[in-house]
């Protein structure tokens, strides 16, 4: 029996890069195997710090990267990003400085979906959807362990929604006046209410608006992708009771269709096991990057 | 080398059942290998005719069925159908009268999606979506040859759409006031205009409304499922120029997002190769049933 390979993982976000190494998930999640590097405006400086960590940590057999985007997965690069300085950054070229083994790159959202499928709240799902509601809204889908990708990765945040009667708040999306992200992301909440989601009072009527829009988008995903598990995470979902309200609104929008009815008197309903909180919390991105690398060495990368 | 197996295929629609047998697709599509049986109100009488055809045609090694529904795929039955008399009809039990081999059952829409992926306009697509706009609106998705199914099959016709300003036509959906099927199916057109789609004049303004709603739903599917091919078929799409208008409206709804822009001056655009007409026309259901049976014998049924 050969030793398990040792892999490197990077969760590359817009504000920080979380780096880790390990042969197992337990090793990876040990804080002594990790480093956090701020994502600065100069990719060369940021990368120098990331590389220093990996050089110090010792050789790896493969690298998994869960990156902010947009990404050109064929080229292995970040493209057309609004993040100053990072347009054209090549993960493929940089990975060669760390390993002679494979680089497996995917979006932060797809990687988190994969992580939730392997180790989190979507374990065993034939079709797992992961949606994160933070500054923006993003979603990924994993089918029996493979990331859904056709022409490109899904852009679930750009589902068009019907606005609530009388809602004339400006959309935050530069493309769409009424897409999910434009109406219901954290940034949309901030514009709509003049306050960041985490600072909005718990009894503010904006939370009912948010639950309604999130429920409508969730209902649309349930009918198009037919998941057996939809994991709903991200900073906005930290608001106590929001997940339960989203389920209730999604059920009302589905209105009993396909057995997906309204929430019952006791607060329980058919969506309780279908629309769930993440199992991995903030670790999903790094765990997803780890799984990308491990599966890449298997010869069965879950993506591309 | 053993002989290729001989399989039976049934496309079971609400008005007729198309039956066929063959070892190859060519054999199956030969009219002398087929029979059409009206779907009557008494399943026993209808089935007796279907069985007579197969008994006359000789033994088959497997049976593929592309059936109207809703279906309980685990039980192999038609359930809760509004079609009088057919609620509870068991394909599994009936199949035992025709073959000792496997029954592979799927919905008519999923089977057509599979057929378009194997032999039609979606060949080679990593993610193929098939949408049919007839009396209702239904959609299926095939991923590298497997039918998308999580908790159940997708119900794409129940995507919620924002209504066009001033559109107060009644939805034909008993569940949703503003879902895709309720606003844009052939039945919705009939209610909206008092005339069946095929009888609506070519210059009727209703066609622009239809193209807009179909384009909006297509745009939503492009962002959620990210297909590399979306096949748009069904009786309503027989209207000349409608497919081109749907592409144009879908492009306008996407508004350039993800490179999926507006149609250019010359009428060509980025959706021309992405949103396409079916390759198999009315044969997709029977061809899909054939493929279900063939793959079932392979030990790799594409569904379930």
Torsion, Cα B284 B285 B286 B291, to 10 degrees, reads: 80
Q: What is the DSSP string of B86-135?
A: -TT-BHHHHHTTT-SS-EEEEEHHHHHHHHHHHHSTTTT-SEEEEEEESS
* A141 found inside a domain: yes
Q: Which of B146, B160, B257 sits opposite A158 (nearest CB)?
A: B257
How far, in whole angstroms, is CA B105 from its chain's centroid? Answer: 14
Does the distance separating the beta carbons of A224 and B253 come in below 8 Å? Answer: no
In this structure, the answer to whether residues B103 and B134 fall within a common structural domain is no
In this structure, the answer to whether residues A132 and A101 fall within a common structural domain is no
| Mean of pLDDT over chain B | 93
Nearest CA in chain A to B155: A223
- Report how many domains make up chain A: 2
* B89 found inside a domain: yes
* B115 found inside a domain: no
Range of the domain at A91: 7-107+282-298
Residues of chain B with Cβ-Cβ distance to A160 below 8 Å are 161-162, 216, 219-220, 253
**Low pLDDT (below 50) residues in chain A:** 1, 265
* A2 found inside a domain: no
User: Mean of the pLDDT values across residues B240-262?
Assistant: 87
What's the pLDDT score for residue A265?
Answer: 47
The strand ranges marked E within chain A are 7-12, 16-22, 34-38, 62-67, 71-72, 77-78, 103-107, 127-133, 137-143, 146-147, 229-233, 275-276
CA distance B37 to chain A (A): 29
Which tens digits make up the pLDDT trace of B157-199? 999 999 999 999 999 999 999 999 999 999 999 999 999 999 9
Residues of chain B with Cβ-Cβ distance to A150 below 8 Å are 125-128, 225-229
- The answer to whether residues B292 and B66 touch, using CB atoms and an 8 Å cutoff, is yes
Nearest CA in chain A to B149: A226
The 3-state DSSP class for residue B272 equals coil
- The answer to whether residues B227 and B148 touch, using CB atoms and an 8 Å cutoff, is no
Q: Which of B155, B163, B254 sits opposite A257 (nearest CB)?
A: B155
* A113 found inside a domain: no
In this structure, the answer to whether residues B51 and B141 fall within a common structural domain is no
Please compute, for residue B4, the number of CA atoms within 13 A of its CA located in the half-sphere on the CB side.
11
Which tens digits make up the pLDDT trace of B202-211? 999 999 999 9
In this structure, the answer to whether residues B141 and B253 fall within a common structural domain is yes
* A112 found inside a domain: no
Residues of chain B with Cβ-Cβ distance to A229 below 8 Å are 150
**Per-residue confidence band for B42, with pLDDT thresholds at 50, 70 and 90:** very high
Residues of chain B with Cβ-Cβ distance to A228 below 8 Å are 150-151
Which tens digits make up the pLDDT trace of B56-114? 999 999 999 999 988 888 899 998 777 888 999 999 999 999 999 999 999 999 999 99
The whole-angstrom separation of Cα B70 and Cα B87 is 9
Does the distance separating the beta carbons of B152 and A258 come in below 8 Å? Answer: yes
Cα end-to-end distance, chain B, whole Å: 30
In this structure, the answer to whether residues B80 and B187 fall within a common structural domain is no
In this structure, the answer to whether residues A183 and A251 fall within a common structural domain is yes
Cα end-to-end distance, chain A, whole Å: 30
The 3-state DSSP class for residue A134 equals coil
CA distance B267 to chain A (A): 22
Residues of chain B with Cβ-Cβ distance to A226 below 8 Å are 148-155
The 3-state DSSP class for residue A6 equals coil
What's the pLDDT score for residue A223?
Answer: 94
In this structure, the answer to whether residues A136 and A234 fall within a common structural domain is yes
Joined tokens for residue B161: 């759409």
- The answer to whether residues B289 and B54 touch, using CB atoms and an 8 Å cutoff, is no
Name which of A286, A283, A273, A301 is nearest A123 in CA terms.
Answer: A273
- Greatest distance between any 2 Cα atoms in chain A: 66
* A195 found inside a domain: yes
In this structure, the answer to whether residues A148 and A267 fall within a common structural domain is yes
Q: Which of B143, B226, B256 sits opposite A154 (nearest CB)?
A: B226
* pLDDT of B266 strictly over 60: no
| Residue B78's CATH number | 3.30.420.40
The 3-state DSSP class for residue B235 equals helix
In this structure, the answer to whether residues A232 and A183 fall within a common structural domain is yes
CA dihedral sign, ordered B43, B48, B49, B55:
positive
In this structure, the answer to whether residues A269 and A131 fall within a common structural domain is yes
In this structure, the answer to whether residues A156 and A199 fall within a common structural domain is yes
Count residue pairs from A and B with Cβ separation < 8 A: 130
* B230 found inside a domain: yes
What's the pLDDT score for residue B209?
Answer: 97
In this structure, the answer to whether residues B262 and B125 fall within a common structural domain is yes
Does the distance separating the beta carbons of A155 and B149 come in below 8 Å? Answer: no
The interface pTM score, or ipTM, of the predicted complex is: 0.91
């Amino acid at each position: 029996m050969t030793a398990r390979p040792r892999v490197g993982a990077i969760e590359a976000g817009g504000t920080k890069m979380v780096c880790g190494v390990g042969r197992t998930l337990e090793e990876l999640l040990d804080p002594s195997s990790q480093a956090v590097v701020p994502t600065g405006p100069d990719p060369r400086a940021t990368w120098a710090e990331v590389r220093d960590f990996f050089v110090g940590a010792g050789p790896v057999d493969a690298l998994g990267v869960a990156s902010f985007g947009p990404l050109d997965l064929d080229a292995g690069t970040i493209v057309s990003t609004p993040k100053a300085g990072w347009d054209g950054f090549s993960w493929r070229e940089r990975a060669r400085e760390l390993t002679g083994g494979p680089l497996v790159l995917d979006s932060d959202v797809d990687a988190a979906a994969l992580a939730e499928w392997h180790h989190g709240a979507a374990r065993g799902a034939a079709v797992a959807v992961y949606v994160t509601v933070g500054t923006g809204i993003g979603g990924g889908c994993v089918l029996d362990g493979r990331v859904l990708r056709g022409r490109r990765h899904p852009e679930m945040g750009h589902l068009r929604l019907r606005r609530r009667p009388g809602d004339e708040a400006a959309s935050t999306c530069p493309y769409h006046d009424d897409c999910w992200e434009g109406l219901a992301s954290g940034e949309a909440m901030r514009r709509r209410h003049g306050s960041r989601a985490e600072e909005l009072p718990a009894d503010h009527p904006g939370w009912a608006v948010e639950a309604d829009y999130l429920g409508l988008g969730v209902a649309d995903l349930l009918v198009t992708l037919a998941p057996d598990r939809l994991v709903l995470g991200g900073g906005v979902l930290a608001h106590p009771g929001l997940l339960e309200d989203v389920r209730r609104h999604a059920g009302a929008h589905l209105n009993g269709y396909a057995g997906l009815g309204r929430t019952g008197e006791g607060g329980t309903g058919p969506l309780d096991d279908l629309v769930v909180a993440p199992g991995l919390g903030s670790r999903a991105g790094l765990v997803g990057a780890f799984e990308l690398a491990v599966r890449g060495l298997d010869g069965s990368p879950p993506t591309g």
